[in-house]
Amino acid sequence: MIKTSFPSTPAINIINHLMFLWFMKCVKVPKKKAESVKKKLIESNNFNFEYIPLVENDYVYFPIKFKTDLPVVEKEFKKIEKKPTSLKEVLKNKVPEDLIPKGFEVVGDIAIIEIPEEIKNYESLIGKTLLSLHKNIKVVAKKASHYEGQFRTRKLKIIAGENRKETIHKENNVRLKLNPETCYFSPRLSTERRRIIDLIQPNEIILVMFSGVGPYPITIAKNTQAKEIIGVEINPDAHKYAEENLKLNKVKNVKLYNGDVNEVVPKLNKKFDRILMPLPKTAEEFLPLALEVSHTGTIIHMYDFLHEKDIPDKVIEKVKNVIPKAKILNIVKCGQYSPGKFRVCIDFSV
Ligand SMILES: C[S@@+](CC[C@H](N)C(=O)[O-])C[C@H]1O[C@@H](n2cnc3c(N)ncnc32)[C@H](O)[C@@H]1O
């Protein structure tokens, strides 16, 4: 079949179709007039966007859709290939359409995707399709559990690509090596980390409780003039990566401890200008500890998960119950946790 939308020379078209070239009617315009003619063709809806305009010597050839008063010739054009860009476009006739995953998370070169149980048998196809659509992805892993336990980790099952779970993630001028199965890490929080670094003043001494593989301490060290940053993390694997990430990012003013904040922080014998508490479900339990290592004016950022209807009252109440004199500075939504439930950060001073 000849797929021109305007009369052309059929026999030649058949041959050229195999070469992905198409004979098309077009207007021949001197280069100098090309822009104004293109504009007119677009305005009159006669510019054929399906083909790539041709430039030869001093002329430009614009493929057209129908007759025009301008000088018309026939030329060979390459068709613009519209490649599918989403899982849905590629898989719509192969996998039940309403169950095709709409999104996925990318940690370094690993795509992490949720696959409904009903389409479990298609997981390899889904994984391979993702690899073919995104050249920067080398591993596709499906979520095999929810975040669980004290380390807030989740099981991952590789469904396509290389057989590894370690990767290097880049954000905010920082490189973070990690295994997203053995350590908590969320690329979705990079904007929130950016927000925090914009608040930091030169020479601050900062405590990051629950520091994971080091995203907050290292992002702060690389992007601010903070004097000293201390991170405390209980998961030995996350701590190991965090130490490695200090070297990877060549930061010198971060000190990391592996252990329970309840044991490590009191022994630091320090007061902090700023304290970060990125442990949404239970951070409030550590408020007395944060208060212990604060001075007048210390700023605390505490994270929480809240239903829309409870924002901001519930998180203010949690803070005021422990620290009645707290001065609330800001409350921001920094991501959705589940339908109707949000990750919230409350900034306050003591
Ligand atoms: C939600 S993750 C945040 C990690 C990191 N700040 C980030 O943004 O990627 C919470 C972290 O707190 C750690 N954690 C939980 N309880 C802890 C405790 N009592 N002392 C130190 N770390 C703890 C977990 O192992 C986990 O890595």
Look at residue 164 in the predicted model and tell me its pLDDT: 98
Look at residue 270 in the predicted model and tell me its pLDDT: 97
pLDDT at 96 over 70: yes
Give the separation between CA 185 and CA 207, rounded to whole angstroms. 19
DSSP for 293-333, written as a single string: TEEEEEEEEEEEEEEGGGTTHHHHHHHHHH-TT-EEEEEEE
In tens, the pLDDT along 262-304 reads 999 999 999 999 999 999 989 999 999 999 999 999 999 999 9
Look at residue 15 in the predicted model and tell me its pLDDT: 43
Give the separation between CA 239 and CA 251, rounded to whole angstroms. 16
Domain assignments of the chain as residue spans, ordered by start: 10-78, 87-165, 187-349
pLDDT at 223 over 60: yes
Question: What does the block give as tokens for 319?
Answer: 């803070």
Q: What is the mean pLDDT of the chain?
A: 93
pLDDT at 322 over 90: yes
How far is Cα of residue 243 from the mean position of the Cα atoms in its chain? 24
CATH architecture of 10-78: 2-Layer Sandwich (3.30)
In tens, the pLDDT along 13-29 reads 444 444 578 899 999 99
Query: Which residue's C-alpha comes closest to atom 16 of ligand 1?
Result: 150
pLDDT at 207 over 90: yes
| CA 102 – ligand 1 centroid, Å | 29
**Best substitution site from 192, 279, 345 to test ligand 1's pocket, by max atoms within 8 Å of Cβ?**
279
Give the separation between CA 144 and CA 250, rounded to whole angstroms. 35
| 187-349: in CATH 3.40.50.620 | no
* Residues flanking ligand 1, CB < 6 Å: 150-152, 184-185, 189, 210-212, 215-216, 232-235, 238, 260-261, 278-279
Counting DSSP H helices and E strands in the chain, the numbers are 10, 17
**Best substitution site from 216, 234, 281, 343 to test ligand 1's pocket, by max atoms within 8 Å of Cβ?**
234
Tell the CATH topology of 87-165: GMP Synthetase; Chain A, domain 3 (3.30.300)
The answer to whether 10-78 and 187-349 have equal CATH topology is no
pLDDT at 42 over 50: yes
